[in-house]
Amino acid sequence: MAIPILTPILAVSDETDPRIHSATVRERMGDVAMVIGCGDLPSGYLEFLADALNRPVYYVLGNHADELRRGCCRTQAAKPMGATDLGGRVVRDPQTGLILAGFPGSPRYGEHEPAQYVEREIWWMMARMAPRLLWNRLRHGRALDVLVTHAPPRHVNDREDPAHRGYQALRPFLRWFQPAVQLHGHVHLYDRSLPTEQRFGATRVVNVFPYKVLDLEPFPAATPTVGAPPVATGISRRTASAPASTEAP
Ligand SMILES: [Fe+2]
């Protein structure tokens, strides 16, 4: 199924931004088709966006233990109500036809955060997602459109310190399934001069910290054919946001 028109999406990550957590967000961003959370965000933030924009919300968890109750006065961690957890899953949005998949957390670098994974665990998630992705390629002409993660792939938008290295396993995943775009957070970019996206094969890998509004461009209708290359969507950046400062730890 082709996307008939430009599909604007709002992607958020890592920090609650007052420009988004605002009474005027509906006036400014009411045309987005969905909200995507890339992790390390309080549940209340995503629930606010779901209510304010009245759009579906998809998310992955970040690596921090307190993200689900941070800033929302809860004593118990709770997943955001009315939102879809993409961690280790492949989901097709019924309104836009976009196919989304996600990987949560970050590579393991310490013992104090619960959502950290060794590469073997990411490979296991990939193995469980592969049948659905291959079916999508046969049925829709592409495995997926948007990969949502908290951490970037290794050596793409990541850093060399142990806490901000990316997943090595995402590199073969991108080569095999070729999503049009990967959205991630985890690497806090406060310096506007630093690049926020890189191309990896057919995929544009975008760091959305703290938020971005992106227009997914339509792709031609695909005729599902065994062995045919996937048809990728394009993506253009409508607005980007990154406060000027230095990189956060
Ligand atoms: Fe993180």
Task: Give 210 Cα–ligand 1 centroid separation in angstroms.
Answer: 12
Inside any domain, residue 2:
no
Count of structural domains within the chain: 1
The alpha carbon of 217 and the centre of ligand 1 are apart by a number of angstroms equal to 29
The pLDDT of residue 68: 64
| 203 domain residue, yes or no | yes
pTM value is 0.86
- Domain assignment of residue 189, given as a range: 7-237
Positive or negative: CA dihedral 35, 38, 41, 42: positive
Beta strands per DSSP E along the chain: 7-12, 34-37, 57-59, 83-85, 90-92, 99-103, 106-107, 116-117, 146-149, 181-184, 197-200, 203-207, 211-217, 234-241
212: CA distance to ligand 1 center in Å?
Answer: 17
pLDDT at 154: 98
Torsion of CA 43, 166, 149, 67, to 10 degrees: 0
> What per-residue confidence (pLDDT) applies to 65?
61
Distance 230 CA to ligand 1 centre (A): 31
Ligand 1 mean position to 112 CA, how many Å?
Answer: 13
Whether residue 245 is contained in a domain is answered as no
Residue 19 belongs to a domain = yes
Taking the centre of ligand 1 as the mean of its atom positions, its distance from the CA of residue 205, in whole angstroms, is 16
CA of 119 to the centre of ligand 1 (A): 17
Which pLDDT tens digit goes with each residue over 83-130? 999 999 999 999 999 999 999 999 999 877 778 999 999 999 999 999
Q: Which residue has the tokens 């998310």?
A: 59
d(CA 39, ligand 1 centre) in Å: 7
CA of 238 to the centre of ligand 1 (A): 25
Q: What is the CATH number of the domain that holds 86?
A: 3.60.21.10
- Distance from residue 193's CA to the centre of ligand 1 (Å): 21
Cα 223 to middle of ligand 1, angstroms: 39
74 Cα: distance to centroid of ligand 1 (angstroms) = 20
- Whether 246 is in a domain gets the answer no
Please report how many Cα atoms fall inside a 13 Å half-sphere around the Cα of residue 27, on the Cβ side. Answer: 4
Residue ranges of the chain with pLDDT lower than 50? 1-4, 220-233, 237, 239-249
Residue 247 lies in a domain: no
Cα of 220 vs centre of ligand 1, distance in Å, is 35
Helices (H), the chain: 25-29, 43-53, 119-140, 170-177
Q: How far is the CA of 158 from the centre of ligand 1 (A)?
A: 11
